[in-house]
Structure 1
Amino acid sequence: MVISTAPPEAREIETSAALERRSPKREQRGLPIEISRMMGLQTAYEILGGKKALADALGVGVRSLNHKLNADRGVSNLDLFVTARTLETRAAKMMQHAAKLRAVLADTQRELIQS
């Protein structure tokens, strides 16, 4: 038995409409559907170069990713975490490559100065 320490007004019984939307089975409850989550995925696939790249990172098919983007399915916290990690990995690779290009540029400038 669980005893609530919440004040009485916070323990009010939910309306029947709210109860109808909720499934008794945890696995049948929907994930959060928020515009910020969907737009975050959309921006991420644009940065990564397409839906296929993001779908591969998430371990889902493009069709499943489309359902998430269209709000037919929710976007989980794990989806957001994996997407963020994928973007961070891509950013690190880009910064490493930019450093290599700057090193080549610096070598070229030194050669021009010495000539």
Structure 2
Amino acid sequence: MEVSERIIQEYVPGKQITVAHVIAKADSELYQKMGIVQSGNEAVGILTITPSEASIIAVDIAIKAAEIEIGFVDRFSGAVVIIGDVSSVKIALENILETMESLLDFTVVPLSST
């Protein structure tokens, strides 16, 4: 009997950022597993956004707020990964949280880091 894997994505009503995290010194293996080319000792910023289309707005805010690069953005899952130096990634994520909360009435989580 063949084992099959089933993935279920669940969406909740509302506008929210449920994950906002900075990895200050990501291991090179993490970059490799994410499919991101590491050019230095960059930090990684991670967001999960609902509704998922708002991930496009978040990336626009991040690019305008700080010198970061887009590692990954998925308008279907709401996942966003940005890379850059630690302070730039933190500034970008802080701007996203502040703007999405104040301008677009999103519920946001505090920014965490490791």
User: Under a length normalisation based on structure 2, what TM-score does the superposition of the two structures give?
Assistant: 0.31
Going by fraction, where is helix more abundant, 1 or 2? 1
Q: Which has the higher contact order (CA 8 A, sep 6+)?
A: 2
User: Under a length normalisation based on structure 1, what TM-score does the superposition of the two structures give?
Assistant: 0.31
